[in-house]
A and B are shown apart, each in its own frame.
Chain A
Amino acid sequence: MDALILARMQFAANITFHILFPTISIGLAWLLLFFRWRWLTVRRASAAAAQGWLDAYRFWTKVFALTFALGVVSGITMSFQFGTNWPGFMERVGDIAGPLLGYEVLTAFFLEAGFLGVMLFGHGKVSEKVHLMSTFLVAFGTTLSAFWILALNSWMQTPAGHEIVDGKFRVQDWAAVIFNPSFPYRFSHVLLASALTCAFLLVGVSAWQVLRKAAQRSAPGVMRVGLTLAALLIPVQIFVGDLHGLNTLHHQPAKVAAMEGVWNTGRGVPLLLFAVPDADRRMNHFEIKVPKLASLILTHELDGEIKGLNTFANAHPPPLPLFFAFRVMVGIGMLMLATSWIGWWLLRRARWQPAHLPRRVLWLFAAMTFSGWVATVAGWYVTEIGRQPFIVHGLVRTADVVSKVPSAMIGFTLALYLLLYLALIVAYLGVLKYMAEKPEEVLQVEAVEQAVTPPGAITAPVVQGATA
């Protein structure tokens, strides 16, 4: 295989592995802040309710710490791979990408890393207020990090605010670079994706705990939070996703044509529910279509014109992966809508006691635990593969900036990374399952450690949580 494909595969493998973890940690940080705040507000009124929120906070903090660590290590790998895989990228667009990445490190990375220690281990060493503030700063840092990285990513999709002098990009207007045409849509879409991923993670893990009769104090409350969040946000996400799609149609019509498998420009284009796009013969096999629907959705007119891939000669992305990735994302979105609305209604009817839900509903929730991951990765493939063959849409080709490292070397390290990532995903899921099923055991271990720790070193709430 040639170096370009290998370099792309390696970067894709790393970014796919990486995005799983920030997608959870961005949303989960805010949810932890919510759990902590709920505990603080109800602890005088009801000891039992407070205990549930404290259990939830402590359990999900462990999940957060694990997730965050995986995000950090894969993020460090990425900071190296920008240079090792795409050395020409920085030489051409360094004036734009450099400051955006630099600001991410300076404002966001240090903030979240600096206060993470206090958030995870500082309870009892700092006041409740400072601890809550540290949790807030970690949550804020993760979101700020998403802001900078998506500003750069969106600029690569819809470049603006620059001029090109002797092949190098110079900034003319920073506001136009950061708030480029696709940024507001992409940023909202990704943050909502993070919130939904967390919502279904909460619902799924709580359902698993109810099925296994674990974490009985916290699981009902956590499931209610997750389902409510999902039911509220999924319609917003579908609406924002539609706006994002229209924005893409305007700025990157080739991407939309590939997503919809439209080979030739036409009016009254049908929506393909299924097809197998064939890049060699430039046609689709096995089409199942709804007449005129694609034109209606994309142009809001039955006979609206949609540009086909024929308009873009050889400068368009491969339709096969886009066509399927897009349908996976939308399909999961629909499944999320149905699950969260029906689930919320059923849980309400069960007086918010998940133990009273039919077991098949709990199994459905458990099966949806990582639905957010699948939808996020599929959506990410749509937007990133959809940018090809360019690295900066319409302006810089990916092939022109690729590394000159021998392909055998790239292949070897790719295999190394793949092996490592696969092992780590398996370990992550295994540990998550173990912690979900045995949260009491983990608390018990802490109670034993408690006994051997010098007095005064640890806070009262831990003891309370372990022995109550």
Chain B
Amino acid sequence: MSWMNLDAALPVIFMALMGVSMLIYVISDGYDLGVGMLMHRATDAEKDVMIASIGPFWDANETWLVLGVGILLVAFPKAHGLVLGELYLPVALMLVGLTLRGVAFDFRVKAKDAHKQTWDRLFFAGSTLAAVAQGWMLGRYVSGFGSGWNYPLFAAAIAVALPMAYVLVGAAWLVMKTEGDLQRRAVQWARTAWAPMVGGLVLISMATPWVSVTVRERWFSLPEIIALMAIPLMTGASLFAVLAVLKTKQVLGALCWLPFVLLILVFVLGFLGLAYSIYPYVVLDQLTIWQAASGPAALQVILVGACISVPAIAGYTVFSYRVFRGKTGELKYA
């Protein structure tokens, strides 16, 4: 493949675009889902503030999932059929979860008081179902949909670990966006979620090379391993920094943003590690991105649109976060 040749590079560009969309989705809807999974631990007044802290963002956050899946559908139709065929049931369950979570946002503030509690429970249940289903899907995807006793076990482990990661990033979001009692409790939640999340991450990092020969050879060969060690080392350092910051007093004040930002770094590093493991496959050991890609004509047309609209999307996303910057008050329709 020549890098000078745009047609051959198109699948790589779209793989990157899809990966970045999915990464932004996992981080941004990750904190939404995490906040949702923490709901049942909060008082009624705190629930309102928690929902208000994610209210203006969740819809745009979910759109990154549509873009990611859209690119899979549009740019890699063969992989789309294969992946979504394999994941048919967990996809359906995730969609049910996202649906419940999405509508509960609006129903809970508009329904009769007597029904509010039901919607809060559905908000929690929907967030949890979606997160668990996503963890399972990630586990199946990373291991190339292999069959054997160890593969479902691996997927099940990630189905627990990913929700933990979401809870941690959700708690870090609350530390950043709230104040008073809720903020103090969010610090506590984050510290509780830290250990299982880190345990899960370590387990996955060790198990991935075990279930996949391709990944093993990719990581454990000289001299690559020396350069690659930077990824786990930086991830570890960031995670310990998160724990250290959570134990300081400043986390309630000037450093309230730091755990969230460090966790974004962890997600980005995890994503890079994953990308390195899988590339150039779009489905591990089965389909490379070139085998799965659409014709260059269609990809060029979409690329033009993406080049124009993605900066605009970034622009008004920044605008929206600026409008709703700072600590969360009550949200009002007006």
Contact = CB atoms under 8 A, between A and B. Distances in A.
Contacts of A97: 74
Contacts of A338: none
Contacts of B59: 68-69, 72, 113, 116-117
Nearest to B57: A117
A75 B320 CA distance: 23
Contacts, number: 228
B110 A442 contact: yes
Contacts of A461: 334
Interface stretch (B76-84, B201-209, B279-287): B76-84
Interface in B144-194: none
Given A95-B298, A117-B320, A434 B112 contact: yes
Given A84-B85, A113-B59, A416-B96, A101 B73 contact: yes
Contacts of A405: 85, 88
Contact of B294 (A80, A95, A457): A95
A412 B309 CA distance: 39
Interface residues of A, number: 82
B306 A106 contact: yes
Interface stretch (A167-175, A185-193, A226-234, A298-306): A167-175
B57 A94 contact: no
Contacts of B65: 76
B297 interface: yes
Interface in B208-255: none
B101 to A, nearest CB: 8
**Secondary structure of the B side of the interface?**
helix
Contacts of B294: 94-95, 98
B174 to A, nearest CB: 18
A91 B77 contact: yes
Contacts of B63: 105, 109-110, 113
B331 interface: yes
A389 B295 CA distance: 27
A79 interface: yes
A8 B305 CA distance: 31
Given A79-B70, A403-B85, A424 B99 contact: yes
A74 B62 CA distance: 12
8 A-B pairs with least C-beta separation: A117-B56, A87-B81, A98-B74, A123-B334, A90-B77, A457-B329, A95-B298, A73-B102
Interface of A: 58, 61-62, 65-66, 68-70, 72-77, 79-80, 82-84, 87-88, 90-91, 94-99, 101-103, 105-107, 109-111, 113-118, 120-126, 168, 170-171, 174, 403-405, 409, 412-413, 416-417, 420, 424, 427, 430-431, 434-435, 442, 446, 449, 452-454, 457-459, 461-462, 465
22 contacts: A66-B110, A76-B99, A79-B70, A83-B72, A83-B77, A84-B84, A84-B85, A98-B298, A99-B301, A105-B67, A106-B305, A113-B60, A114-B319, A114-B320, A117-B55, A121-B55, A168-B295, A405-B88, A413-B92, A430-B111, A434-B111, A452-B330
